[in-house]
Amino acid sequence: MGYLQFLVPVVSTLVLLVLWKLFVDLIWRPRSITKHFAKQGVRGPPYSVLTGSLMQIKALEVEAKQTPMDPSSHDVTPKVLPYYHKWSQQYGETFLFWFGTQPRLSIVDPEMIKEVLSTKFGFYTIDKQPPSVDALLGNGLLSIGGLDWVRHRRALNPAFNIDKLKGMIKRMGDCTVSTVGRWRDEMGVNPRKEFDMHSEFMQLTGDIIAHTSFGTSYKEGKEVFEVERELHRMVIDSVTDVYIPGSEYLPTKWNRRMWRLEKRLRNNLKSIIETKQKMKDSGKGHGYGDDLLGLMLAASNEESNKKDGACLTIDEIVDECKTFFFAGHETTSNLLTWAMFFLGSNQEWQTKLREEVRSVCGTSEIPDADKLSKLKLVTMVLYETLRLYSPVIFTERKTVSDLKLGNLVIPKDTMVTFPFPMIHRNKKYWGEDADEFNPLRFADGFSRAAKHPNAFIAFSIGPRTCIGQNFAMMEAKTVMAVILQKFSSFTLSPCYKHSPVNNILLQPEFGVPILFNQ
Ligand code: HEM
């Protein structure tokens, strides 16, 4: 009896506390944040308890998927970010919506973008990823923040030093020559064969990142990709599911599959690292090798870096490898795919580029770094492709305290999100032809292409700008140069169906079939 007398009030208090917390998180806070923004003139779709705007997002995505796109339009926003498109029209450029109970503020103003992405004071941070994304990326650069991020970035920067990267161009070129050789062989059997650039470039950029990341261990590296790809597919399917805290620990079929894949990925990568370590210890070859993994291992083992704390553990290096595959492989593959889409449907630009490549590099030589830097028109086309078909569709940051951004006061724990397709088409900065393919706008480089230098953010800006952008541009230019050298022309197949989709990255739903002429 005495025991019950004690237990009843304790349990009642606990229940009341839980109910109060639920009331605050699910009802009171969303209402007060909505009011807070409304007072500042920021509106958005109404909040629904627990799911926020997620149901509307899903419905709009389903509708957009079923709606065919005008084949001559490059405005991908209604197709890949239908909710941003609809709500920006309905509520204005800056609007508020809800990912479950989390408020999200959509921003497209370049001054505000600069303020958020360029700050070095830690006012905005990367939010914790859902467990599915964690399995894909691990605690690599893309997902970590604070001092951990500083340490990782310092340890990794040397591997992406432009002089180190120059040494990789030959490997990039060799991989491309071998792919083009296979295409030619297949055309020998069937001259009208159509090649889907999306799947071809996924293979080629996979081959390139495996060679440039792992050097001699690239075959084992390619196995890692297969697992990574499977994980990616699982993540795409789950990205807008409502996340229930703790659900990642339940042994559901989906979780068990995820755990298995993650373990396989980690074990494969560890075994590649061990092989490299043994090679170095045996004194065979050149230290850890001049590939990305070798450079990371070397930087992490340098005494000066150890003293400065700029070194990584083996587990951290494994996580960085996972991040590089994801961040560095499909992004570049999509850039190349959309560039071929433009050139295959625009013979005038294709001819200009071929003339430039052949006059700078000849018809057979793999270009070196010096020659790549002279390919001005190729660079302009790649930038214009990145503007209109940016592989990364949006990025976001979370406020760590109540903050002032432009004229707005933003509460702590709000996600500020930047929809790239809208930013890259804002007529205020890009002019009336913002929806059209016009590489000439990049004639003076990307910072002068629009009326504001930060209206182009395909590689992001500020301290967390893409670490691999030089790598990506070198790779894309090398691949384009070799293709333009080897074929007298190519055209987009009449079977092409224009349907860009949001698969975390921007992809062509039905591929990009191309017909080559020898
Ligand atoms: C066309 C190709 C590429 C595009 C468009 C691209 C775009 C981006 C963007 C927009 C970000 C910032 C993401 C954010 O702030 O949320 C980023 C970050 C990053 N990218 Fe890339 N990327 C490309 C290629 C690469 C390559 C080739 C690598 C590596 C081999 C790479 C590795 C990374 C890493 C590690 C980060 C995180 C940097 C940090 O937070 O410190 N990317 N990339």
Residue 33's pLDDT band (boundaries 50, 70, 90)?
Answer: very high
Ligand 1 atom nearest 386 alpha carbon: 5
- 247 CA to middle of ligand 1, Å? 29
ipTM above 0.85, yes or no: yes
- For residue 26, what is the DSSP state? I
Kindly report the backbone phi and psi dihedral angles of residue 307, in degrees, each rounded to the nearest multiple of 5, phi listed first. Answer: -65, -40
- 332 CA to middle of ligand 1, Å? 10
Res 216: pLDDT: 67
Mean pLDDT of 58-76: 94
DSSP letter string, 370-422: HHHHT-HHHHHHHHHHHHHT-SB-EEEEEESS-EEETTEEE-TTPEEEEEHHH
Which segment of 1-15, 24-38, 72-86, 354-368 scores lowest on mean pLDDT?
Answer: 1-15
Q: What is the mean pLDDT of the chain?
A: 91
CA distance readout (Å), 153 to 290, 375, 444, 467: 19, 30, 30, 8
Kindly report the backbone phi and psi dihedral angles of residue 472, in degrees, each rounded to the nearest multiple of 5, phi listed first. Answer: -65, -45
Ligand 1 atom nearest 471 alpha carbon: 27
Res 91: pLDDT: 98
Chain Cα centroid distance, residue 362:
34
Res 2: pLDDT: 66
For atom 7 of ligand 1, which residue has the closest CA? Answer: 459
- CB atoms < 10 A from the CB of 478, how many? 29
Res 218: pLDDT: 72
- 328 CA to middle of ligand 1, Å? 7
Residue 474 pLDDT exceeds 60: yes
- 392 CA to middle of ligand 1, Å? 9
Residue 3 pLDDT exceeds 80: no
pTM here is 0.92
Residue 245's pLDDT band (boundaries 50, 70, 90)?
Answer: low
Binding residues for heme: 466
Res 241: pLDDT: 63
Binding residues: 466
Res 453: pLDDT: 95
303 CB-contact burial (10 Å; exposed 0-12 / middle 13-18 / buried 19+): exposed
Res 318: pLDDT: 87
Do residues 358 and 365 make contact, with C-beta atoms less than 8 angstroms apart?
Answer: no
For atom 37 of ligand 1, which residue has the closest CA? Answer: 142
CA distance readout (Å), 173 to 39, 142, 291, 364: 57, 28, 15, 11
